[in-house]
Structure formats: structure tokens, C-alpha cells
Amino acid sequence: MTATLDFDATSRTMGGEYELHYHEAGSGPVLLMLHGSGPGVSGWSNFAGNFPVFAEHFRTIVLDMPGFGRSPAREWNDVYPRVAADAIRYFLDELGIDSVDIVGNSMGGNVGTEFALAHPERVRRMVLMGPGGLAVNSFAPPVSEGSRRLFEFLANPTREGMVAWVDTMVGNPAVVTDELIDQRLANALAPGAIANTFKIFQTFSDPRFADRPQLWARAAQVQQETLLVWGRDDRMLPYEGSLFPFRQMPNAELHVFSRCGHWAQIERKADFERLTVEFLNR
């Protein structure tokens, strides 16, 4: 049976150019895990359940990206994924790590891909679960149900709103517990958290930062072996949007889970872990 890992025992901080919080355990090749966005998110909230399993195979690092978890917000002087990708560059430099494998969920997939494009020699393989920025959806409304519920919560942050948003993240509501809702809500209502989340999302539409093509338009430049993972019932980034990056990325493979929404690492936990370990170790 896989041992559990304690939050405090694995907690680390880094100062300097970027102030970053992370968790680390295990040994071997380095695996960097990047969480998604949304109210109350952190590296731990996304990956606490998977962390011990991956730490049995890799030196596993679960990062709180800038402005999330215990990594403080900053002035956003570029579109968020490029800021976070530069933070990863600094983070790896400070730890003396030359290259990594990346697991990225949603926004974390966006950030991981930006890092891979900026520093291709430092990324070996990637597993991207419903990666933001890469999906191109021609079969659903331009604003997904998950996005709509997310911004409804940010505009009126109530417990009912959190329940409604989290419901769009999963295909099986049974995996959502009161504890999960309460933890996410408490984190989302921390002082300044919602205002900072708005500021992060606003960077995507800020004309000052529109100096290069969007990520999906650069998908063909991603050379790393990449496993795209989607839930067939994803209501945040519908799985039909996976076909574009799968077709464009020259070394991509695609796995779609049935009975699964946006949180494959939670809903199909054991299957996701097995699939990821096999892909990274082959």
C-alpha cells in the first residue's frame, strides 16, 4: 500500500526573483507537477492524492505556481502562463535541475507547454490533462459551462456557487466531498484571492501582451513526446477540443477516459497514475 505524504513534512519555500512554495518527495528522474487555475486551487489540492504514488517512481515536485496556494501574487507584467513559465525557469535553476518531465492539469498544461516552447532542451516528456490554451473547440459554445460557473462564483463567491462550479469539473459527482468544497471555499475566500484570480485571467485579454500567436497556434512547434489526457465528460474544456492539439503536435498521443470530467487525476486516479508512470518510464 502506498504511504501518505504529510503536507508540512514535504513543504518547501524558495525566495529571490520569484517567491515560490512547493512540495517535494521521492528520488530519481525529476517530475514537475503543475496545477490548474480556479478558486481555491493549489498544487496540493490538485495532486495530494497522486503525490505519494509518483514519489515512488520519481523525484516529484508539486509546485504552487505564482499567485496560487502559498506562492504570493505579484505584478503581472505579461500573460500569466509566460510569467509562470519564467518562474519555472528560475525555480529549476535555483534547484540545479537541468531537465524535467511535466504533468500539467488545465492551466498547468498551458504553463508547462509555454515552458517547453521557451526551453525545449529542459523538458523531456509531458502529460497534459485537459490543457488550457491548446484546445480548439468547434462543437460547443465558445464559453464552456465550466468557465461560466467559474466566473459566476468569482462575481458572487458563495458556497452554492462553489458547489455549482466544482460540479462542472467532474463526470461523477460522488467524488466531490463536503471536505473538498469547504477547503476550496476557504482558500478562495482568503484575503485578496478572488481579486488576484481576476487579475490573472485579465492578462489573457490584455492587449499589451498580445505580441505573439496564441498557444494553440504554436502547437505544431511542441516537439516533446506528449500524452494528452482528457475526460470524455469534461465540461470545462470539452474533449472534442483535444483533436486539434493531437493532430498538430508531432509527437502527441491522446487518451480519453470515459466516466470522467476535467479532473482525471481524481476521478480516474489509479488509471491515470498507471498511464502516466508507463508513459514516462517507457
Asked if residue 178 belongs to a domain, the reply is: yes
The arrangement of strands across the sheet holding 30-34 comes to: 11-14, 20-25, 59-64, 30-34, 100-105, 123-129, 225-231, 252-257
Angle made by CA atoms 247, 89, 10, in degrees to the nearest 5:
100
* Mean pLDDT to the nearest integer, 248-255: 98
Tell me how many degrees the CA angle 79-113-73 measures, rounded to the nearest 5: 40
Cα–Cα nearest to 102, from 240, 254, 228: 228
What b-and-e string marks burial along 112-151, b requiring 16 or more CB atoms within 10 Å of the CB? bbbbbbebeebbbbbbbbbbbbbbbbeeeeeebbbbebbe
At 75-124, the pLDDT tens digits run 999 999 999 999 999 999 999 999 999 999 999 999 999 999 999 999 99
pLDDT digits (tens, 9 = 90+) for 152-199: 999 999 999 999 999 999 999 999 999 999 999 999 999 989 999 999
Q: Is 211 part of any domain? A: yes
Distance between CA atoms of residues 168 and 210, nearest Å: 30
d(CA 272, CA 251): 20
d(C-alpha 280, C-alpha 124), whole Å:
9
The Cα–Cα gap between 107 and 133 comes to 8
Q: Residue 1 falls within a domain, yes or no?
A: no
Contact predicate 104/111, CB 8 Å: yes
What CATH number corresponds to the domain at position 13? 3.40.50.1820
Q: φ, ψ for residue 175 (rounded to 5)? A: -80, -10
Amino acid at 143: V
Please check whether residue 64 lies inside any domain of the structure.
yes
The parent domain of residue 109 ranges over 7-281
Domain contains 215: yes
Is residue 241 in a domain?
A: yes
Give Cβ neighbours of residue 96 (< 8 Å, ≥ 6 apart): none
Q: Does the pLDDT value for residue 73 go beyond 90?
A: yes
Q: Which pLDDT does position 272 carry in this prediction?
A: 98
Query: Considering 21, 23, 255, 262, which one is annotated as catalytic?
Result: 262
pLDDT at 231 over 60: yes
> What pLDDT shows up at residue 143?
86
Report the alpha-carbon distance of residue 157 to residue 153 in Å, rounded: 5
Does residue 214 sit within a domain?
yes
Checking if the pLDDT of 1 tops 70, the result is: no
Residue 100 DSSP SS3: strand
Question: What's the pTM?
Answer: 0.96
Residue 14 cell numbers, joined: 524558495
Three-state DSSP at 14 gives: strand
User: Does residue 262 have an active-site annotation?
Assistant: yes
- Reading phi first (left if > 0) and then psi (alpha if -120 to 50, else beta), residue 157 is in beta
Q: Report the number of distinct structural domains present in the chain.
A: 1
Is 2 inside any structural domain? no
